[in-house]
Chains A and B, each alone.
Chain A
Amino acid sequence: MKTVFYINALFSLIFALGVIFGKNPLRSALSLLLFFLTIALDFFFAGSEYLGFVQIIVYAGGIIVMIAFVIILLGLKKESPDYDITVRSFTGIILLGFFALGVLYGLAKSVLHLIPKAPYFDTSAAGIGDALFSKYLLPFEVASILLLVGVVLAFIFAKKEV
């Protein structure tokens, strides 16, 4: 199980590097699609089929199609490498390195085995729906309002004159 997980993680890392170092935007979008599929595979491994399918439908079916359409619409061509190595981003990298060291240190000293375990693992769509409509009703409604605002905002931004 561990071997399979790490092989899958290696593939996600390769596809993620393919996204950020790619020169052709469309090819990067396809690499991102494969990255999403490896994450969905991780969901399946963790026993949460519902979220895996939602991941495939929303990300692969929705977001990637949107990104690919915009790339084609804008006519973004293969471009010369545009890596921007300034003092600002160099500082950012150093801070990120410290953050990574901190996280790895926390990982080594982890007390996560103290997290209490629930008696059983409910990963069914029914279990998630139960939680979503009882305990998490307010976040659910806020998310729906967020979606509405997002739709209106995207429409206004993409209109001819702002």
Chain B
Amino acid sequence: MLGFNDYLLVSVILFFVGALGVLFRRNLIYILMSLELMLNSINLTLIGLAKYSNDTNPQVLILLILVVAAVEVAVGLGLAINLMRVKKTVDVDLFKSLKG
């Protein structure tokens, strides 16, 4: 029988894969894609919770997470376009203007 723990295990693993991508890649586009991986693993947890507790509330939360993910990727890609125009690169290690 498929329980909530199975959903949790899979989404923890996927979350770590996404976090690895955020930590190790230097390309801004890859970092954005890894963030999407992490948000989707959260969605997987919530759908497991919804199924397990027979509840509607986690599904509403999934819709709200979807909105946040869409806004995040739109703003992030706009930023990437502007950085490419100004600095000619999307390598996040080269953006040091704000470093104290």
Residue of A nearest to B53 (CB): A115
What residues of B have a CB within 8 angstroms of the CB of A48 in the complex? 47, 50-51, 59
A147 touches B67 (CB 8 A): yes
The distance in angstroms between the C-alpha atoms of A8 and B85, with both chains bound, is 40
Interface of A is mostly: helix
Q: A46-B48, A131-B56 are in contact. Are A157 and B6 (CB under 8 A)?
A: no
Q: Is B44 a contact partner of A157 (Cβ separation < 8 A)?
A: no
Instruction: Assess whether A87 is interfacial by the CB under 8 Å rule.
Output: no
**A120-B54 contact given A43-B47, A51-B62, A79-B27, CB 8 Å threshold:** yes
Given contacts A67-B33, A89-B23, A128-B56, contact A150 B50 (CB under 8 A): no
Q: Contacts A2-B6, A25-B29, A70-B81 given: A150-B52 contact, CB under 8 Å?
A: no
Kindly state the separation between the CA atoms of A13 and B19 in the bound complex, as whole angstroms. 13
Which residue on A lies nearest to B73, using beta carbons?
Answer: A63
Cβ-defined contact, B63 with A66, below 8 A: no
Number of residues of chain B lying within 8 A (CB) of chain A:
69
User: Do A157 and B82 contact each other (CB < 8 Å), given the known contacts A48-B47, A76-B27?
Assistant: yes
Q: How far is the CA of A123 from the CA of B47 in the complex (A)?
A: 11
Instruction: Give the contacting residue for A158; candidates B25, B52, B62, B81; CB below 8 A.
Output: B81
Q: How many interface contacts (CB-CB < 8 Å) are there between A and B? A: 219
Produce 1/0 per residue, B9-33, CB < 8 A to A: 1101110111111011111011011
With contacts A76-B90, A154-B75, A158-B78 taken as known, whether A20 is within 8 angstroms of B20 at the C-beta atoms is yes
The A-contacting residues of B in range 74-90, CB under 8 angstroms, are 74-75, 77-82, 84-85, 90
Binding site for B on A (CB under 8 A): 1-2, 5-6, 9, 12-13, 16-17, 19-20, 25, 28-29, 32, 35-36, 39, 42-43, 46-48, 50-51, 54-55, 58-59, 62-63, 66-67, 70-71, 73-74, 76, 79, 82-85, 89, 92-93, 96, 100, 103-104, 107, 110, 112, 115-123, 127-128, 130-132, 135-136, 139-140, 143, 146-147, 149-151, 153-160, 162
Q: Can you spell out 18 A-B residue pairs with CB atoms less than 8 angstroms apart? A: A5-B10, A6-B6, A16-B17, A16-B18, A19-B33, A20-B30, A20-B34, A28-B30, A32-B36, A35-B40, A66-B74, A67-B33, A82-B26, A93-B20, A107-B5, A110-B5, A112-B52, A131-B57
